[in-house]
Amino acid sequence: MGGRRRASEHPCLVVCPPGLEDLVVEELLALGARPERTGRGSVSVGLTTRLLYAANLFLRCATRVLVRIDRFTVRSFADLERRITAIDWSPWLPEDTVPRFRVTTRHSRLWHDGAVAERFSIAFATGSGQAGSRSGHETVRGDEGTGPLVVVRAVDDRFVVSVDASGPPLHERGWRQAIAKAPLRESVAAGLLASAGWDPSSPLVDPMCGSGTIAIEAALLAAGVPAAADRDLALRAWPSFEPGTWASVSADARLLQVEAPVPDGSDSPRIVAADRDAGAIEAARSNAERAGVADRIEFRVAPVSNLEPPTGIASRGVPGLLATNPPWGGRVGGGDLRNLYATLGNVAVQRLSGWEIGLLVADRSLARQVRTGLGERLHLELGGRSAHWLVGRLSS
């Protein structure tokens, strides 16, 4: 994968939820980048300035993009302080900024994360050189504050210093304010759709939609809306920010939206968000309105037993995808989860024959209540728990 990096490229690390690395690689390749290697929850890649901007704007499965600005090996705090003051911060941090330093160390002599972060804060504030003296500014200890994020990682005394190009995590699209139980990250929802091979021109049903994340992410994809549309990315505050390059990337984003099919009233929505909880549907509808895609989604207050395809295509026999994140544990409305999953399987086979079905589950034995023959597309870690995205075809 990849090859020799071009001189004009920035060495970057794209961070993502563990399990989505291969999908991030595919997204980067689609942008024209050449990923070099993957790690747990990350992809290393060289990005030109234009590709760096595009990655932050378009990547749907990423959490953030870090630009690696320095590497060094140190074994004492005195050496660390000297190396920090030698870093050229000027392209990345405005003169009056107070950054946050997020530090992780492993197998290093300088093993105390807090002490390393404090040295960075003090050395940065009192340093000289192209970054200028900041002795008159307040220092921030560690990862406190709201300033730009600098990520420091040390393994076996080898330090890598990176600046965050994204700002708030990229999965925070900005539309989700109403939250139902156990919300799914938007980046994970995008990964589920991508790994299932969902085509935005085909229908999609989520019969247990909660706050609507899967349906809304699908509608945004169908509308050609970039993942970070209307986001105030951290890179736009950099002294080295190139307005002309950003304008060019933004023009590409607008073109995608112009070319996306627009609902004209003659065709009913192809995406259904259903839930037995009226409060969840109210939350999902509010979120979709903020995202600007409410007209692309058909909302239903309905139990799983009332599962139906989108109204406009119910009689056309067009296959689509049933994608859902059902409850993972406990009891639902006084009933056992096995009954819920079995009902889902029975009704889906009867009414959506020929469709694909995708289930995000923590317990694979529950998925067997739906049907056999589901294959694992993704193995994820969500909220400290292992999760499986299982996909198969419904056939009677």
Query: Model confidence over 36-57: pLDDT tens digits?
Result: 988 999 999 999 999 999 999 9
Q: Decide if pLDDT at 159 tops 80.
A: yes
Range with lowest mean pLDDT among 10-14, 81-85, 330-334, 373-377: 330-334
Question: What is the average pLDDT score of the chain?
Answer: 88
Quick one: pLDDT at residue 269? Answer: 77
For 163-167, what is the mean pLDDT? 97
User: How crowded is the C-beta side of 244, counted as CA atoms within 13 Å?
Assistant: 0
Predicted local distance difference test score (pLDDT) of residue 98: 87
Q: Cβ distance 380 to 389 under 8 Å?
A: yes
What is the per-residue pLDDT for 145?
A: 60
All domains of the chain in start order, with CATH: 10-164 (3.30.2130.30), 186-225+232-260+269-393 (3.40.50.150)
User: How far is residue 265 from each of residues 259, 295, 328, measured CA to CA in Å?
Assistant: 18, 9, 37
**Which residues 6+ apart lie within 8 Å of 388 measured at CB?**
360, 361, 362, 364, 367, 376, 378, 379, 380
pLDDT at 267 over 80: no
pTM, full prediction: 0.90
Tally of CB atoms within 10 A around 72 = 17
CB distance 98 to 137 below 8 Å: yes
> Mean pLDDT throughout 206-222?
96
Nearest to 166 by CA among 174, 157, 158: 174
pLDDT over 70 for what percent of the chain?
87
- List the structure tokens of 54: 């595009």
As a whole number of angstroms, the distance between CA 179 and CA 183 comes to: 6
| Max intra-chain CA distance, the chain | 74
